[in-house]
Amino acid sequence: MLSSSGIKEKTQEVLKPFAENIGNLGISPNTVTLTGFIFSALSGILLGTGNFFHGTVFLALSGACDVLDGVLARTMRKTTRFGAFLDSFLDRYADFFPLAGLLYFGHTIGNELLLLGSLFSIAGAFATSYARARAESLGADCKSGIVERPERVLLLLGGLILGYPAETTLILAVLSNVTAVQRLFCASERLR
């Protein structure tokens, strides 16, 4: 996981000067979060119509906003509980839109692998985030698992760039659902 590898912290440190410049322009962290949400929706629409180049660009921009909003909030000392909630809330839609676009495109062209891979990737992404949130609401920390949102976005970006959307969604479906099951076992151990 990127969050436990130190890469996340290094990336945030590199983005700190950029975040300061954005903050000096008066742009709030929530504005960056909403912008990422819009980019994700555009990505889904474009991927759904088969425009993989622009869909991938907007997916990358959405991922960049997802990293930047937190850095901006911490750098400008504008972290709020609502901002954290909004970020997590809109991340679920940001997970959904590109995969839904690929699901629709798979249906349109009759590619069952792309359709099923996208469908089970959506299920795995939602189950992974729900397992963590529900476990935390019951007092357990279950951040375990092999792929969180940053890894899912990077994997999907890589597959789209290389031209293997169906294969990538199948890999993503397996890894996302394995992560959800890992969190289920984590919760089982910590909530007994």
Helices (H) and strands (E) in the chain, counts: 8, 0
Q: Can you give 161-188 as a three-state secondary structure string?
A: HHCCHHHHHHHHHHHHHHHHHHHHHHHH
DSSP letter assigned to residue 145:
S
Rg of the Cα atoms in the chain = 17
157 CA to centre of own chain: 11
Would residue 91 show up in a list of annotated catalytic residues for this protein?
yes
Count of Cβ atoms closer than 10 Å to residue 5 Cβ: 9
Catalytic-role residue among 66, 69, 87, 91: 91
Would you please indicate which residues are annotated as catalytic (active-site) residues? 91
